[in-house]
A and B are shown apart, each in its own frame.
Chain A
Amino acid sequence: MKRAKDWMPGLLLTAPSLVALAIFVYGFIGWNFRISLTNWKALSPDYSFIGLQNYRDLLVDERFKIDIKNSLIFTVVFMVACLLLGLLLAILLDQKLKFEGLFRSVYLLPMAISFIVTGVVWRWLMNPATDDRISGINLLFTKIGLDSLVNQWHLTPNWGMAGIALPAVWQMAGYTMALFLAGIRSIPEEIREAGRVDGASEWRIYRHVILPQLRPIALSAIVILGHISLKVFDLIIAIAGKQLALDVPAIYMWQTSFDAYNFGKGATLATYILFSVAIVIIPYLIFTMRQERNS
C-alpha cells in the first residue's frame, strides 16, 4: 500500500473535476428523480411529494405510447442501416485501393456537421410535395426515371420515423465505417495469409476469419449508435419541428418542461430516457473496464 503522502496530491489535483461531476452528473440525476416524485407544475418550485403518480400517469399516456413506438422504429432502422452500410464501406475500403483516403474522408465528412445543419438541409431534400410542387430527392427521382421511388419521406403515415432515420444514417454511417475499418486493420495480416494458403476465397476469409474478430467492435458500435438514437432530438426538431407524428421522449420532455412548465412530469420523462440509456451503457462500461484490467 502506497503512503498517503504519495497519492494525496493526485487526489487533490482531480478533486475539482470530481466534485463538479459528482454534483452536476450524479447529484442532478438524484435531484431530477426527486422532482419526478413531486407535483411541480408551474414556474415556482413545488416539492409536494406524490410518490410514483407521475410514472403511473405516463404508463397510460397516449402521447408517450406514440413516442415509444417512434423511438423503437427509429432505433431499429437507424442501427441496422448504419451497421450494414458501415461494414460494407469498411470492407470496400479495406481493399487497398487508390484514393482510399479521399473516399474515407468524404464518407466521414458528415461527422463534422451538426444535426441541426443536417436537418435543415435534409428537410429540403425530403420535401414531400408532389406534382408541380415536386422538389428535392423526389424531383431527382423523376428526372432519372425512378418515379416509383417518389415518396412522402418523414411524412409517410406510420413510418415517418424511418424517413427521419435516413439523414441520421447519412450522418453516422461513416463513423460506423471508421470503427469497423480500424477493427479490420488491427487483425494481423498473417491470419489472413494463413487462410489464403489454405485456399480460402477472399469472401470466405471475411466471413470466417475477419467477421468473428469484429465482434468487440460491433458491440461498441451498437452501444454508441444505440445511445445516440435513444437521445435523438435536434435532428427531428430541425427537420420537422414539434409534431406529434414524429414525437420522441426527448422532445416530449423538453416541451413538457420548458414550454408547459410541468416539471414533475418532465423530470419523469427524463428519468425514463436516462433509464433506457443506462441499461445499455452501464453493462458496457463494466464489460470494457473488466477487459482492460485483464489485458
Chain B
Amino acid sequence: MKKSRLSLYPALIFFLIFFLLPVYVVIVTSLKPLGDISLDTMWSLPKSFDFVNYSLAWEKLGPSVINSFQLVIPAALIASFLGSMNGFVLAKWKFPGADVVFPVILFGMFIPYQSILIPLVTTMRELGIYGGIPGLILVHVIYGLPIMTLIFRNYYASVPNELIEAAKVDGAGMLGTYFRVVLPISIPAFIVAIIWEFTSIWNDFLFAVVLTGPSSWPVTVALNNIAGSQIVQWNVQMAGALIASLPTVLVYIILGRYFLRGLMSGALKG
C-alpha cells in the first residue's frame, strides 16, 4: 500500500512542473538585465539580479494598476452587499414566484457579454458615463449580481429557519431581521463573495477594453497593449505580467480556501 503510493509522486511532481513552468519563466526573465536577453539562455537563472525591468514596467502600468484598484474595491463591495440582500430574500423572505425568479437571475452570469455589448455602449453614451471608471463600476456591479446572489442564497439556505422565526417573534421586521440577525453571521460568505468579485473584475478584459479610454484603462488592457508592441522587451513584459497578477495571486495564496469556495459555487454547487 505504502509503496504504491510513493510511486505516485513522480506524476504529481511532473504536473507541478507543468503548472509552475510559466511562473518560473516570468520570474527569471523579469529579473535579467536588459542586455542579457539572448534567446539561448531564456531557461537559465539570471547571472545577476536587476530590478530595472520592474521600474520600466511600473512606468507603463502604474497608473492602470491604480485604476484597477479604484474600479475593483467599490464594485466588489457594492455587488456583494446587494447580493447579500438578494440572497437573504430569495432564501428566507420569499415572495411568490421567488423560486422562478432565481434561475432567471442566474442566466445572467452565463451569457456571453457580446450579446449585450452594443446596447450597453449605446446606453452608457446616452447617460454620459461611457469611457470612465464610474461607468465600469456600475457595469461590473450589475453583471456581478447573479453570482453574488447565488453565493449568498446558498449560504443563507443553511441558516436554520428557527433563527429567522425567533427574530420575527421578537417583533423584528424584514430589515431588522436582516441587519441584526443575518448580516452579523454573514462574514464567511462576504469573504467568499468579495474575493470572487475582486478576482473576476481585476481579470476582466472585455468590458474594460470596450468601455474605458487610455486614462481609465485597467491593468489588463494596459498590459495587453504593451505586449502587442514590438518596442517593449520581453524582460519588461514579463515584469508587467507579474505586476498585473500579483494582487489576485496574493489574495489566492492568503485566502485560498475562500477562493475555492467561490469557484465551487460558480458551478451552482453550494
User: Which A residues lie at the B interface, using CB under 8 A?
Assistant: 1-2, 7-11, 13-14, 16-18, 20-21, 24-25, 27-29, 31-32, 35, 45, 89, 92-93, 95, 97, 103, 105-125, 133-136, 139-140, 143, 170, 174-175, 178-179, 182, 217, 220-221, 224, 227, 230-231, 233-234, 237-238, 241, 250, 253-254, 257-258, 263, 266-267, 269-271, 273-274, 277-278, 281-282, 285-286, 288-289, 293
Contact = CB atoms under 8 A, between A and B. Distances in A.
A13 B89 contact: yes
Contacts of A278: 111
A111 to B, nearest CB: 7
Interface residues of B, number: 93
B19 A14 contact: no
A171 B243 CA distance: 18
A258 B210 CA distance: 8
19 contacts: A7-B95, A9-B173, A16-B82, A17-B82, A18-B105, A29-B115, A31-B119, A107-B15, A112-B248, A114-B220, A115-B205, A120-B224, A120-B241, A121-B26, A139-B43, A220-B268, A257-B118, A270-B118, A278-B111
Contact of B224 (A18, A29, A238, A257): A238
B203 A113 contact: yes
A224 B205 CA distance: 19
B88 to A, nearest CB: 8
A113 B115 contact: no
Interface string B148-165: 010000000000000000
B145 interface: yes
Interface stretch (B47-55, B96-104, B129-137): B96-104
B203 A115 contact: yes
B112 A237 contact: no
A113 B240 CA distance: 13
B118 A273 contact: no
B115 A14 contact: no
A120 B227 contact: yes
Contacts of A92: 8, 11-12, 15
B117 interface: yes
B20 A106 contact: yes
Contact of A14 (B25, B43, B89): B89
Contact of A28 (B116, B206, B210, B223): B116
Contacts of A254: 114, 210
B169 interface: no
Contacts of B199: 112
A285 B40 CA distance: 51
A97 B8 contact: yes
Given A106-B16, A233-B206, 12 more contacts: A14-B95, A24-B120, A95-B5, A97-B8, A109-B23, A111-B259, A113-B203, A116-B244, A263-B118, A270-B115, A285-B106, A289-B99
Contacts of B15: 89, 92, 103, 107
Nearest to B250: A112
A170 B237 CA distance: 20
A138 B121 CA distance: 42
A21 B79 CA distance: 13
